[in-house]
Amino acid sequence: MLVYFESTENQRNMKKLIITGCNGQLGREINRLYEGSREYELVNTDFGIEGITNLDITDINACLKLFEDVKPYAVINCAAHTAVDACEVQKDAAYRINAIGPRNLSIAATKTGAKMVHISTDYVFAGDGTVPYTEFDPTGPKAMYGITKLAGENFVKEFAREYFIIRTAWLYGDGKNFVKTMLKLSENHDRITVVNDQLGSPTSTAELAKAVAYLLPTSNYGLFHGTCEGQCSWADFTKEIFTLAGKKTEVVPVTSEEYKEMNPQSADRPKFSVLDNYMFRLTTDHKYADWHDAIRDYIGNYL
């Protein structure tokens, strides 16, 4: 991890990027992507992690002070309360991290002339559609996670002057994720049950980080969807993971209702969570990899 305030002449001339939630999956991928950069210096921040610049994004004064000290070119907000079930019972924490945090960062970015990059989610939609959601479709979150993330989006739009909001979905990378969970289960189970009626687009942090890097130096501001191309169910995704990893574990498809009966404390998940990268197509030549290719690269290069 890089630390800010390096003293060489070259580093003083580099553009500083504040990365919040740098120890999460996307934060780690951003670090990997910019490693060795001669243009950008990463100012890695997280909350309560030893050896990393401490930043509580829910504290407006802390955000303002850090931005005044660093004078960043941009902030990439990878921090979020992403535990969907926990958000249902930890509503205050979810609002503080997912809504107030982006508000504070946006205020600090505007005050110091920095660009704001904010990562959002497919959960801002109701999940009852039948065709991929574009950036122009009405939102309607049902779970507290999506409700608080949408509030964060709205704060960014209100308080940031130059911003990119990127909604993503089914993210996996370096850290705890669905892919690793399934592979871990396969070590001790001959068969596992996986939901088969929830559709989405599995997206690697490598693909999302490349999209962030593509947008960052531009003035193509606004709201974007950012997922790998194509769609599948969780059960189909699991089958592909096992095939690529050479696992023989059987995948038993179940409905969301059957899963809910087995896990009654779980929050409702969107049945249809496919995002259309419409704004990328309309305004750029950037293309995301197909989800099959992305998971193949992940299994081959990261695990």
CA pair distance 17, 13, nearest whole angstrom: 13
Amino acid at 289: A
CA pair distance 247, 238, nearest whole angstrom: 10
Contact between 267 and 143 (Cβ < 8 Å): yes
As beta bridge partners, residue 275 has: 133
Catalytic: 302? no
What per-residue string of b and e applies to 271-282 under the rule 16 or more CB within 10 Å gives b?
bbbbbbbbbbee
CA pair distance 53, 31, nearest whole angstrom: 14
Catalytic hit among 145, 172, 259, 288? 145
Q: If DSSP codes are grouped into helix, strand and coil, which group holds residue 157?
A: helix
Q: How far is CA 71 from the centre of its chain?
A: 24
Identify the H or E element spanning 293. Answer: helix 291-301
Annotated catalytic residues are 145
